[in-house]
Amino acid sequence: MRPLQRLIPQVQLLIPQVAELLRTSEAQVHRWIRDRGLPATLFGEQYRLNRVSVLSWAQQNQVPFDATAMPVGPSETSIATALLRGGIHRDVPGATPAEVLINALERVHLPAAVDLELLREMVLSRAERGMLSIGDGLAMPHARYPFVAEVPEPLLGLCFLATAVDFGPDEHTPVSTLFVVVSPSVRTHLQLVARLARALASSWRSLVLARASDATILAAAANDATANEAKP
């Protein structure tokens, strides 16, 4: 087990742990606390920082971090629940990242209260940088660029594209399967993206790659969530 994985389960982090999480030096963490508002509380002679607050700050300030390091608690939204809200969509058209994202957004089951124009503008502004290719033609939301809207709970749309699309010069494989996450806050975005990263590191990934039936994909996601919650 890597040192970071041993440290992350703690709710309150010390400066060395934050430095490892944010891939920087302890001196830089102190500078961010002093100059850039990184949330920290001084206890005696040591700073303590809340894990989720640190990652939310990092996301807002475009500081790189490992999104898969976000812990997943039993009270957070499961992939199956988020997928039921957002839906599984096939043959989504589009020839560019912007076209694909807008078409995917139009298929996701958004509440009527959501300002679609504002969300479209957000999606268009982040079309090139807001998605992260994770191999095998899969792309998921970048942890640093959330799509935040007035939704009561986070939702996840699984979109199988009609045609694979090149998402940028740094990507070696065109994207053929896209995940769209819409969340009510940065915190819930981080949590759901972390849960999605974990799911895609399991056997569930093969079902998505095979474009299995909606029922099969949802059932496997639900079974995985139940197994994780049962672990001590």
Question: Which of these three, 20, 37, 63, is where a domain ends?
Answer: 63
Instruction: Give the pair of three-digit tokens for residue 145.
Output: 């660029």
Whole-angstrom distance, CA of residue 165 vs CA of residue 153? 29
Per the domain annotation, does 122 fall within a domain? yes
Per the domain annotation, does 175 fall within a domain? yes
Whichever domain contains 118, its CATH number is: 3.40.930.10
Half-sphere exposure of 155 (CA within 13 A, CB side): 20
- The tens digit of pLDDT for each residue in 31-48 reads 999 999 998 988 888 899
Instruction: Give the pair of three-digit tokens for residue 123.
Output: 């999606």
**Do 129 and 218 sit in the same domain of this protein?**
yes
212 and 90 Cβ atoms separated by less than 8 Å: no
Confidence of residue 86 (pLDDT cuts 50, 70, 90): very high
The model carries a pTM of 0.68
DSSP-derived 3-state class of residue 167 = coil
**Do 220 and 159 sit in the same domain of this protein?**
yes
Mean predicted lDDT score pLDDT of the chain: 81
More confident residue, 163 or 147: 163
Confidence of residue 2 (pLDDT cuts 50, 70, 90): very low
β-strand partners of 41: 48
First to last CA, the chain: 18
Domain that residue 14 falls in: 3-63
